[in-house]
Amino acid sequence: MLRKLLVLSLLIASFVALPALAPATSVAQSPERSSSPCQGPAAESVISALPSQATSELQITVVYDNVSTEPTRLVADWGYAAVLRYDGHTILFDAGDAGLLFNLNQLGIDPKSIEAVIISHENHDHFGGLQSLFDAGLKPTVYVPCMFTKAFKSDIGSQTKLIEVSDVTEIVPGMRLTRPMGCIVEQALAVDTPDGTVVITGCAHPGVVNIVRAAKEMTGRDITLLAGGFHFFPLDDSEVLPIIAELQQLGVQRVMPAHCTFISKPTAPWQAAYGDNYIPAGVGATYTVPTPKS
């Protein structure tokens, strides 16, 4: 069933993803809320939007992306997935596509160590590798927006524990999901570190600026790092630069753009804006959020 959903998701994405990006600047600046009703039970761990006191270090390893740090060893393909190690926990944010399990093994990451999987939105290049984990006998808890299709949720729920997210939801102390938002419904992850909040996005369909604002409101902290897909690839520099400027005005200190942020376009605007605070991504890239010096 999940394989059939991959095809259906690809067809849907081809019709709706790009038109939704047309007014990119206005999407970034105008708060967008989903009008889709939630079906099924709410998440088990909904919490109030209060700042976390967690002081754990966060390590991000990109395990699925359009480019690879080691092309002869790791699969590069359209999609995104990142393994997060935080306070003794291992979480998978998005699941890429067919090469996920291969990349995990090549990188020496034991798939059995993955406790939970967060699916940002219902596009095949972000959940396609999930079935390979199930086929390997793994049963991580899976967090999805409650607005996902009934067929998708039913299939996942038949294979492992499924948690439907409708509001701010804690995964582990210091690691929280934003409420789902957008016309293409998407959730992002905010992780508290000693240096501030790290925000991780899948494609940022609701607008990356909107997601950053939501994370800041939720945590009450500065954004030390913004990582993941920002869905800028159809845009030219004249459209990208104002959004980068707005992110800087919101206090985003570092960026680690990946996946749909660009395809083969130069990363010059990001590097020019952030300098040494631009963190290269790609399959195999690992970054540990620095701990402030006392």
Q: What digits encode the pLDDT tens for the residues 200-229?
A: 999 999 999 999 999 999 999 999 999 999
3-state secondary structure at position 61:
strand
Residue 45 lies in a domain: yes
For 20, list phi and psi in degrees, rounded to 5: -65, -15
The distance of Cα 237 from the centroid of its chain, to the nearest Å, equals 23
User: CATH number for the domain including 59?
Assistant: 3.60.15.10
How many domains does the chain divide into? 1
- Contacts of residue 32, Cβ cutoff 8 Å, sequence gap at least 6: 181, 182, 183, 206, 207, 210
Residue 24 lies in a domain: no
3-state secondary structure at position 8:
helix
Residue 193 lies in a domain: yes
Q: What digits encode the pLDDT tens for the residues 237-289?
A: 778 889 999 999 999 999 999 998 876 555 778 888 999 999 999 999 999 99
Predicted local distance difference test score (pLDDT) of residue 264? 56
Mean pLDDT of the chain: 84
With residue 69 as reference, give the H or E element that holds it. Answer: none
Residue 25 lies in a domain: no
Residue 107 lies in a domain: yes
Residue 192 lies in a domain: yes
Six-digit token string for 132: 């390979």
3-state secondary structure at position 245:
helix
Q: Do residues 268 and 257 lie in contact, with contact meaning Cβ atoms separated by under 8 Å?
A: no
Q: What digits encode the pLDDT tens for the residues 28-84?
A: 333 333 334 565 445 544 333 344 455 689 999 999 999 899 999 999 999 999 999
Residue 165 lies in a domain: yes
3-state secondary structure at position 224:
strand
* Model pTM score: 0.84
Which DSSP symbol is given to 166?
S
Q: Do residues 200 and 81 lie in contact, with contact meaning Cβ atoms separated by under 8 Å?
A: no
pLDDT-wise least confident of 135-149, 166-180, 252-266 = 252-266
Q: Which amino acid, 58?
A: L
Which residue segment(s) compose the domain that 100 sits in? Answer: 2-11+38-288
Residue 29 lies in a domain: no
